[in-house]
Chain A
């Protein structure tokens, strides 16, 4: 007998499969969010999901919860408004790197400064996937995208420094390190105050294939090779994943 997949109860199953490309990391992160909520026994009544715009922005609609799909970059102030109006609610944000660090960067600074008790899961795929694959704030130096055909000349944004500057919970993981990412989200949800989980994710359709990856499996294996787990540090190196409280 197969084990019942109870985390699916957090999703509107009639909407599955998702409309995301084959190999996309968003589905993995959706599952991680559901499993973390299940572990904490979050109830439909009392939990709210907020998202911004982009491929990641569609996440909120899949949850069998009250959910809000905001305009581009504004998931954080909307989530803050919800939390401050009703502090009993568990408020989660799932959004992308372009949404949270690019157009919404100012809100990240101030939401972490105010230390509002919300949990943010950032699907960090280093690309604007939905619009065709333009350079994003987390695109690596020299990386080739639609808008950086000769390689990115700017360094990626230092999210860790931004979030930890206000002594907030920051965790970094990848879609390859499934159990580690789950632990990060699980702990972030229990953290009182602003918590931020950056999960490196793959976009094969509009990023990976331009950089020579054959499929998303190869991209995930590159995470395996690049990132080492370090859960006992105050500062993660660029090739480390872990949790900073």
Chain B
């Protein structure tokens, strides 16, 4: 096994190639550009620099349909532009991997600073009901591993899988082991072999379009069931138990690395598959009187957790990309003291 010192974004590119990436389309954006830079030098990957992120996602929809394992990478602004076509990929059931290296928003925000403002955008960004699988690793080694998982889950679920990262983890250098993880095979027959019709319209098997509400209801049910079935294989989370503490601190991505500093005083729960939420949180949360979600937004994941647990969840928003350990410590102390 070779050990390598890699940047988070480089690890994503390397793992993608090992997972069988054939086609990449993207548009330069800070802090995700390194993925594009890495891939242009790989001989086994066709790389296309498109005119914008909308073109990028649509090009990989086309290439994936044509039989190529496909990926794009972007940051918040580009991810927003891609939303309509992410819905299309769910509707047409196309395997894709979309990497989102988050930065401070809204709008142009602070391009080089980390944030976690795209959590809800991952789940609800496109119109209509769909059920994405979203992974959010917190280290270079994990980015490497979960790039494999993202490709595998996308092939198994025939849907676009989102690999979240942030400008902190994406630009972090760590030593990793270059493991060859197992790879799931393509099940979708490529274009040009039959007479199928892929469409964003609600469609029945024999008809390109239908206005039958039953067909639509069944299709949405099918999407949800499919996601549940596939995501079971990837119940990834980290739980650091603490019998001395009555408070559970939930954090993910860059913020979870900060949370480790408080494991003396708090139990720590870190979801890696952030959507669909790993159900285990329900049993873990029962042990603790208080739950705090520390995230780099104003409570996007906290709301989702609160909704799932049906109990109050305290927020600790870290905004503007600044991670000040002293400030966080004092805020956490205050939350813990409050009844």
A residues sitting closer than 8 Å to B (CB atoms) are: 12, 14-15, 44-48, 50, 58, 60-71, 74, 77-86, 88-89, 106-107, 109-110
CA distance A78 to B68 in the complex (A): 13
B194's nearest neighbour on chain A, judged by CB, is: A66
10 smallest beta-carbon distances between A and B, as pairs: A81-B62, A61-B208, A85-B63, A81-B59, A69-B199, A77-B58, A85-B66, A78-B62, A81-B63, A85-B68
Contacts of A86 in B (CB 8 A): 66-68, 190-192
List, sorted by A's number, 25 A–B pairs whose CB atoms are closer than 8 Å: A14-B206, A47-B192, A61-B208, A63-B195, A65-B195, A66-B194, A68-B62, A68-B92, A70-B200, A71-B84, A71-B85, A71-B87, A77-B50, A77-B54, A78-B61, A78-B62, A79-B62, A81-B25, A81-B58, A81-B60, A81-B70, A85-B22, A85-B63, A85-B64, A85-B67
CB distance from A110 to the nearest CB of B (A): 4
CB distance from B151 to the nearest CB of A (A): 16
B15-59 interface (Cβ within 8 A of A): 22-23, 25, 46, 48, 50-52, 54-56, 58-59
Instruction: Assess whether A46 is in contact with B208, with CB atoms less than 8 Å apart.
Output: no
Contacts of A46 in B (CB 8 A): 192
A113's nearest neighbour on chain B, judged by CB, is: B51
Q: Given B51, B63, B209, which contacts A110 in the complex, CB threshold below 8 Å?
A: B51
20 extra interface residue pairs, beta carbon distance < 8 Å, beyond A81-B66, A84-B46: A44-B195, A45-B192, A46-B192, A48-B66, A61-B209, A64-B195, A65-B195, A66-B193, A67-B198, A68-B92, A69-B199, A71-B200, A77-B54, A81-B70, A82-B62, A84-B63, A85-B62, A85-B63, A86-B66, A86-B191
CA distance A48 to B208 in the complex (A): 16
CA distance A143 to B191 in the complex (A): 41
Interface flag for B197 (CB, 8 Å):
yes
Interface flag for B339 (CB, 8 Å):
no
Interface flag for B65 (CB, 8 Å):
yes
CA distance A63 to B208 in the complex (A): 11
CB distance from B10 to the nearest CB of A (A): 24
Q: Given A12, A82, A106, which contacts B191 in the complex, CB threshold below 8 Å?
A: A82
Interface flag for B88 (CB, 8 Å):
yes
Q: Given B48, B88, B190, which contacts A84 in the complex, CB threshold below 8 Å?
A: B48
